[in-house]
Amino acid sequence: MHKRILDHLNSAILLFDQDLNLAYINTSGEVLLADSANQLLGHNAQELFKISDPALLANLKLSLTMSEPLLDRALTLNRIGQTVTITFSATPIFTDDGRAEILVELLPVDNHLRISKEEQLLSQQNTAKLLVRGLAHEIKNPLGGLRGAAQLLDLELIDPDLKEYTGIIIAESDRLQGLMDKMLGPNKLPNKKMLNIHEVLERVRQLVEAEASGNLLILCDYDPSIPDLKADKDQLIQAVLNIVRNAVQAVDGSGVIRVKTRIKRNVTIGRKCHKLSVKIDISDNGPGIDAEMMNQIFYPMITGRPEGTGLGLSIAHSLINQHGGLIECESEPGNTTFSILLPIESGND
């Protein structure tokens, strides 16, 4: 009964003896340490945590020495190819014959942190979107009247020089009208049909290569086993194209852009867990995104380029959201990656 309970906990439970050798590990612990109990039991804590945060081993020793419980947060646990952020809890216990043991609970918090960050981002974006929509509508109303008045005035004028001025007013009104339409974002629901995500990516690659100079290199690393998903092909092309064009601008048209697809399992988007999702990574080797802008890059009218409108990423985010998906970004000098997550199963309908 106790073993069944421990094996069904989400927390990793480890028991170390007084010499800090592993005496027990539950199923979640095996998953966290990426190895089976048969391989892990008997190993010393120093060996298990040798490439992880030094505080892990230090906390174990301190709890054992002081015979007091100890809690620590935001520690990093390194395992094969991955770093996991965990909450650490150690509790000394004593056997019937007085020997000390340490019961350790490791709770991964990466997913919780990502979900919390995502919810905060979505909330901020929705607020910004409402403000922008209200502002755009307020501008469009007098803009229509301004354009109409300029057209009527143009009909009354005979002097070509004066007509040139009304032409400028009409042209600028049309330009502002187009900008307002972009700020309002997608105005129709996606027309979803079954498609292969690589059709979308190849179409974007062809468009970007046709636009770019010969110094741009686009490298593709596709997983051919990814099943079809239900989506609006045109909207996905627009979303991916906006991100890839941003990458082209980041490398100033003469760098390397990598597009990679992989299957992700048990991905939580919002508050919903999807058993199967596709992850599209779009990376560039440009200078990276300024740290001060990282939390604002998906807001409308936010851009790091003087000639930019700041609408590309905002529109891409809205389109991916309409498909129940998510866009994430990580950036450092020489490597910026935008990751698109799209659910594949029925939750994508």
Nearest to 294 by CA among 74, 112, 117, 110: 117
- Most confidently predicted of 81-90, 136-145, 282-291, 300-309: 282-291
Chain segment 61-72, per-residue pLDDT in tens: 999 889 899 999
What CA–CA distance (Å, rounded) separates 145 from 135?
Answer: 16
Chain segment 136-179, per-residue pLDDT in tens: 777 777 888 888 999 999 898 888 888 888 999 999 888 888 77
Identity (one letter) of the amino acid at 125?
Q
Q: Got the DSSP string for 231-283?
A: E-HHHHHHHHHHHHHHHHHHTTTSSEEEEEEEEEEEEEETTEEEEEEEEEEEE
Q: Which residue has the higher pLDDT, 54 or 111?
A: 54
Q: HSE of 134 in the Cβ direction (CA atoms, 13 Å)? A: 6
Chain segment 26-57, per-residue pLDDT in tens: 998 998 888 899 999 999 999 999 888 899 99
Contact 193, 230 (CB under 8 A): yes
Backbone angles phi, psi at 34, to 5 degrees: 55, 40
What CA–CA distance (Å, rounded) separates 13 from 107?
Answer: 9
Q: Where are the alpha helices (DSSP H) in 74-196?
A: 110-156, 160-184
